[in-house]
A and B are shown apart, each in its own frame.
Chain A
């Protein structure tokens, strides 16, 4: 190794999780539910991110203490294969929802607001092939792509929020912090499926997608990734929470709750509330395309994470990816086969009760960690 070369570890998966959480928090929620009793969703996002980070830390600490490679391995070693499946399958379903929901939202928005006269499925024909192609290429490709895209996502969101500042009015914020706590908590729980699932999946698979850092062409060394995973995950959760909160706060300042409950992506055209729209007036479509790109990366990450949880040792990873892709495709084209009322009901149920899908995984991982600790204490 070359002298003076810092053997840095480079982790791309945390960037993917950051994108997935941000996309989940800003573009995946059900507006009718989130803004039913005011526009205080910006508060609930902080609570959600906090709970997600807590679950992630608890799961990863269990894994670290037990000395296993990931949470699935830990659960299997303590409670057997059935428990492992019982924990992995619900989280995989949650990840499938995380992959399908934003695609469906973007397809609806593009079909209604950007491409007049187009149909929903022709929009999907552009989005899904690229998403599935990325997913098939695996975590390495998705992680590397995420690194490039995450900076653009953060910059575009901050830019939109700043450019629309002229149209913000504080009187639109209702309820303020402290009022309507039950609804805020309920929103926080409903968001959990889209924000916590991508983060939790980092504990279940093969860990961070490590690249060996290069210096010229002298390569760095790799070391244990669990400590790094914790830091990267918390950074990803913190970054995502900040962006989600800012975006929701901006939306709350720009629109009243009634309008927000009917908007799928309030940030699109947020600049129009400003008395002088300026640059935003012409660049709204550019921003939505940037966010769509991030949505595709996020969905590919969720597909890969779900496939990794289901395939276990990774021998059948590609088969699992294909299976998950089919599931995402089925969810995206479901509106073709069911009525709008049924579709809305399904969306409502998945958003409201989706958080339940995270319970088996988190509970079994923490329990496995605790049982291992108790055994060690007994032995001591």
Chain B
């Protein structure tokens, strides 16, 4: 049986009636009907009080392993520790003297047992609520490789990672974030930089209360500051991806209630890698990776580049291409910049609408938006076919980016590129590109440069556009950048 260290705070419990009053008051009085206070007596007549929250606990476990043994017990003259040792048939038990802490534990799903005349309560691990089963990854699906994804249950998520990394030195450091949110910081002892771990702990400590802590909010609260909207922490729903990063010396934060692991630190190259790369043979993985980078470049640069050419550098287009552009825009009434921005906005609308509605309808929206609206816009001379193709190609390229937050950031870069190209053609695009590159180079994720190992350049770990053999340092593993 596991007993935690006793809390030496001032004791408050001398009678179960007083404890019941404090609990009732702490839970907001009679209005809060979720608090269950079960008063009962032991076989020798000692008053006992069990407190728990309805729906947060495993009732069968309470009945079978706490109430039943205690009702038939002889508790008089026994301390809390003696009672726990003799009668409570649950492995995880701790003792608490502070009423505030006891209240927090009860709110988190534990059961608190108060003894008449005792100076502390017994906290019993009885958490048990409805949870989603481990299911297939929805956002990071792969053809080859494991299918399972994280759930909202912290313990399940830790187990999923532990099943991948069967090392005794895999640490799941339990933390309590603000608002009593349990979390686990997972890393391999000896592989991960202790300085990084200290930095993560310090940032987690600074999270203010009053915020609902999920992966999205925690990510924003602890990430490094940057002008760019790119993520500085990787959110992944795949245990294999998190495990791969952990094996490479990174740390993953699992938060109770969030089906994602937050991996820190990350680089731009690790955000561009997909789990699929590693599960395919090197030539196929290399082709996929190359296409992905190409897609990202097309997504960010193509609309701006086309606009720059059409507005300022027509000489760079061949006569045939130029005449096609002119012919397709013959009846379009708005300027090409407005047309481009309009189509980009419509593309974002379709994407957003497709994501917010259930699966089959979402697909239908995509088809309607892509085919019918596009065709209708060209027929109505609201858009030219050439610009429509450019926007569509750029959108397809955007979908090649494996990370959702990076995808969204690329969409903003695309619009910034269009604005820069409108202002100064290729000169504007170059200036904006250099500004973004400088910001990217300056950005850090928990002390690791965002463009590492390209910049700062390290020959032994240069980022590989083409995937190498598994096990090679510098690019083969998914966690490697």
Contacts and interface: CB of A to CB of B under 8 A. Distances in A.
Interface of A: 2, 6, 8, 10-12, 15, 110, 114-115, 123, 126-127, 129-130, 133-134, 137, 140-145, 147-149, 211, 213-219, 282-283, 285-286, 289-290, 292-293, 296-297
A289 B313 CA distance: 12
B195 A216 contact: no
A217 B192 contact: yes
Contacts of B318: 282
B427 A293 contact: no
Contact of B454 (A137, A147, A282, A293): A147
B461 interface: yes
B427 A289 contact: yes
Interface string B180-202: 00000000001111011000000
Given A127-B431, A147-B441, A282-B317, 18 more contacts: A6-B460, A12-B456, A114-B313, A133-B435, A147-B451, A148-B441, A148-B454, A211-B449, A211-B456, A214-B448, A214-B452, A216-B248, A217-B192, A217-B193, A217-B448, A285-B313, A292-B427, A293-B433
Contact residue range for chain B?
Answer: 35 or more
A123 B451 CA distance: 30
A2 B187 CA distance: 13
12 contacts: A12-B456, A126-B427, A140-B442, A144-B441, A144-B455, A216-B250, A282-B317, A283-B316, A285-B316, A289-B426, A289-B427, A293-B433
Given A126-B424, A148-B454, A218 B438 contact: no
A289 B447 CA distance: 32
B357 interface: no
A142 to B, nearest CB: 8
Best-buried of B190, B193, B195, B248 by chain A (most CB within 10 Å): B193
Nearest to A10: B456
Nearest to B195: A219
A145 B455 contact: yes
A145 B435 CA distance: 10
Given A2-B190, A148-B451, A286-B426, A217 B438 contact: no
Contact of A147 (B425, B430, B447, B456): B456
Contact of A293 (B250, B430, B442, B452): B430
Given A133-B435, A140-B442, A289 B430 contact: yes
Contacts of B431: 126-127, 129-130, 296
Contacts of B60: none
A134 B441 CA distance: 11
Nearest to B424: A126
A148 B443 CA distance: 14
Given A141-B438, A148-B454, A148-B455, A215 B461 contact: yes
Contacts of A292: 427, 430
Contacts of B192: 216-218
A218 B442 CA distance: 19
B466 interface: no
A73 B435 CA distance: 34
Nearest to A127: B431
Interface in B151-205: 190-193, 195-196
Nearest to B426: A289
